[in-house]
Amino acid sequence: MEIRNGEIYLGGVSVEDIASRFGTPTYVYDEAKIRANYRRAYTTFKKYYPDFEMFYAVKCCNNPAIVNILRQEGAGADCASVNEILLAKKVGLSGTKVMFSGNFLSDDDIRQGLESGVIFNLDDISILPRLLKFGRPEMLSFRVNPGYGKSNVGDFVTNAGPGAKFGIHPDKVIDAYRMAKEAGIKRFGAHMMTGSCITDADYFPFVTGLLMDIIGRVSKELGIDFEFVDLGGGLGIPYKPNEPALDLDRAARLTAEMFSRKAAEYGMKAPQLKLEPARYFVGNAGWLVGRVHSIKESYKKIVGTDIGMNTLARPAMYGSYHHIYVNRKENCPRETLGLCGQLCENTDFWVKERELPANIAEGDLIVVENAGAYGFGMSYQYNGRLRPAEVLINDGDAELIRDREVFEDMVRHTHVPERLNQ
Ligand SMILES: *Cc1c(COP(=O)(O)O)cnc(C)c1O
């Protein structure tokens, strides 16, 4: 993002151009920035652990154009559902370039996941006998809950530890691999995903040590060679101005050291190291451009825009902070204002108090920063406020990569029994 003569530019394109060509609200992604984010993470970890591969957790931003950018960079896909596997296949990823990490799977999920031929990553031992009814995967991994989780987003997003629904309890991990081995499965991996948006570099080696202690024992006792260990995602980005960024080099170096040391300690053949970040690739490469439509003075001054919890759910859902810029007014004197969307819900009043330009007015464009991750993918149609458009910027040019929804999208797939038409 750049400000030239007061006007905000995203990837070299002015937000006024974007708003006039595509309307508002619109998600805007910067292709060069996504590529740079991927390359930075890849080269840094690869430097310290050469047998390294990264997957992109597609739920974070599942536009096929975005998934294709990451595929071109060399990423595989981490999928949470069968439809995400289909999405990965649509962009040309399959086999060991796709990991199925769903949880609480239905029989249909299991059957289709197996038929798709991707790496199966089971969230619980109880899925294994159900899986074996349908067939035997070539390669299997289990998601381990090493007993510790962390999140900078809020407790809601802590996805390991005693309060989390994910992964296998450390004491049961050995039984899971034993059962799989006895069922004739020959190739194994291990997985964890212990947190999201972590900017503390030392956290990564710490949880890596926990996981390696669990699977190191499994390897020793059962004589299993783990082909890969997937440490999950969670590489964090700063959301607030002046918030320190993750020291990626330190995270990579200490994680690789811990990984190698623990593998040697348990006499394991050095497994491949995998990571499956998502926010780190696309979070700061996406913005949401909206417009101020109405301003009211009630108990306080509230600025109403077309960006609400339906277009960007994170603030209402997790209390997340997103920085807001006002086009052509960033240098103006500020006052404490509220800012909201257009839904009939008070959680849509997603900025209760913020220092914003005091002269903000109807018609102004606003830019919400760090909106690339868990933005569009969590949007919904409540109140008949339909999903926004998505635009990709490359080389100073903006291309539409998803149409703005229209009324037909709101009633599509609905059926009215004939008697109700009378
Ligand atoms: C969501 C998710 C990720 C990506 O998480 P980030 O915090 O965005 O890096 C990785 N792995 C799994 C299993 C996930 O569910």
- Give 50-59 pLDDT, tens digit per residue: 999 999 999 9
Cα 126 from Cα 104, distance rounded (Å): 10
Q: Residue range 274-288: average pLDDT?
A: 98
User: One-letter amino acid identity for 34?
Assistant: I
Atom of ligand 1 nearest to the CA of 277: 9
How far is 121 from 98, CA to CA, in rounded Å?
A: 10
Q: Cα-Cα-Cα-Cα dihedral of 61, 66, 71, 73, to 10°?
A: -110
Closest residue by CA, ligand 1 atom 10: 233
pLDDT at 118: 96
- Residue 343 has a pLDDT of 98
Is there an atom of ligand 1 within 6 Å of 277 CB? yes
Ligand 1: residue whose CA is nearest its atom 1: 57
Find out whether the beta carbon of 276 lies less than 6 Å from any atom of ligand 1: yes
222 has a pLDDT exceeding 60: yes
Judged against a pLDDT cut of 80, whether residue 159 lies above it is answered with no
Distance 14 CA to ligand 1 centre (A): 32
Calculate mean pLDDT across residues 256-285. 98
pLDDT tens-place string over residues 160-183:
888 888 999 999 999 999 999 999
Give the model's pLDDT for residue 157: 60
pLDDT digits (tens, 9 = 90+) for 327-354: 999 999 999 999 999 999 999 999 999 9
pTM score over 0.85: yes
pLDDT in tens, 177-211: 999 999 999 999 999 999 899 999 999 999 999 99
9 phi and psi angles, rounded to 5 deg: -120, 135
Q: What's at 343, amino acid-wise?
A: L
For residue 277, is the peptide bond before it cis, meaning its omega torsion is within 30 degrees of 0? no
- Cα–Cα distance between 26 and 310 in angstroms, integer? 13
The pLDDT of residue 361 is 98
59 lines ligand 1 (CB under 6 A): yes
% of the chain exceeding 90 in pLDDT: 95
The C-alpha angle with vertex 129 and arms to 123 and 131, in degrees rounded to 5, equals 70
